[in-house]
Amino acid sequence: MAFRKRNVGISRSISESDSVSSPLTTPSASLASLPGVRPSPIDGRPTTSTGTPSLDAILAGHAGLALGSSILIEESGTTDFAGALLRYYAAEGIVQGHTVHVVGVGEQWGRELPGLVGVSGSGTDDDRPGREKKEKMKIAWRYERLGNFGSGISGSRGTTAATERAQPVAEASTEMASSSEAAFCHIFDLTKRLNFPTGTSVNFIPVPLQSVSSSPLLSILQNLSKSLSSNPTSMIHRLVIPTLLSPALYPMTASQPQCLLQFLHSLRSLLRQYPTQLTALITLPLELYPRSSGLVRWMEILSDGVLELTPFPHLGDALVTSGAATTQEEQPQGMLKIHRLPVFHEKGGGGGGSSGLGEDLAFTVSRRKFVIKPFSLPPVEGDTEAQQGLGEGGKQTKVDIDF
């Protein structure tokens, strides 16, 4: 009869397969050392910036786009505001040294990427990174890391307690570090053109108008899969797909469900196969493919995040003066609707604590930048006293005090 001591665990030898960690269990510290990647404040998963600080602030509280996820940006009307987000996304990847894959468009699209702010060193007001460096707060060292209060989407009036708690996270994503290696999200100017670093190349993937295979989108997956398998695991890849299914870029057979859904299923499989290397941003024109169709609904299901840009009608531009707290602020061009955000675990991915969620969001595309901020109604027509108060920078007038 065999006996053994109590409270002694049975040990087993560690096999070689146990010592090798899977991509999902890769320590975030090693991934955080990569350029343009840092751990999420929610659960520590590696995230990268979309190039738009206000968009990073609403992505489920991760203060960036988590690696291994995709976002579908839908846009109604004949405008191309979503194209500005794609250019920011591609420009951020090039500056960080990531591999950028662009589908369907030529090299001319890459020559129109926005340039960095403050690179020329002209000393103008646009050199905000250099100016912010000189204007660091010297009162308390812990406030210095918060950046400029109010630059996020919830940095205006009506900030709730939840947004105040999420504000340091959102502001941390927009903070410009003194060195380019520590910068997570750069500031770009749409009026400038990006100077590609030496040795940088963008992979432009063409779409065959007449494909011999059953699906014309199959060549996109083959090109992307070959690049992912041939490059080292430390390389981050960004997939950019402008105006998916546009008749000017894609053949008619690409819009068939057996071709499109197979492509999105395979892309989702690549995102799960390379969860620490690949992200994707896709735009879709709703004028050609409305959300009421079953094909678009399946596209939304196969995407990790779904956003919709709804520009204001041209006839109402003169009447729409909302979204700006004062007359000095730029007026928004449309509304942003959040249909779905990337959720990665049973706790919801931090979506409930994201800044801006539950509020009406508007987007503003100026000559230089793309900003997402809360939407507010203007003063009632005929209320001249309120309009005069806004015209004076939002200060209280004597009439307001008496009232």
User: 238 phi and psi, to 5 degrees?
Assistant: -125, 125
Can you state the angle between helices 294-301 and 257-273, rounded to 10 degrees? 10
Q: For 21-44, what is the mean pLDDT?
A: 68
pTM: 0.73
How far is residue 394 from each of residues 118, 156, 167, 322, 327, measured CA to CA in Å?
A: 31, 12, 23, 14, 9
Name, of 40-49, 140-149, 237-246, 327-336, the range with top average pLDDT.
237-246
- Give the per-residue pLDDT at 201: 79
With bands split at pLDDT 50, 70 and 90, how would you rate the model's confidence at 117? Answer: confident
How far is residue 259 from each of residues 84, 208, 255, measured CA to CA in Å?
A: 28, 14, 7
With bands split at pLDDT 50, 70 and 90, how would you rate the model's confidence at 6? Answer: low
Q: Which residue has the tokens 């846009």?
A: 75
- Give the per-residue pLDDT at 172: 41
How far is residue 113 from each of residues 74, 85, 90, 193, 196, measured CA to CA in Å?
A: 21, 11, 8, 6, 10
What gap in Å lies between CA 12 and CA 138, rounded to an integer? 56
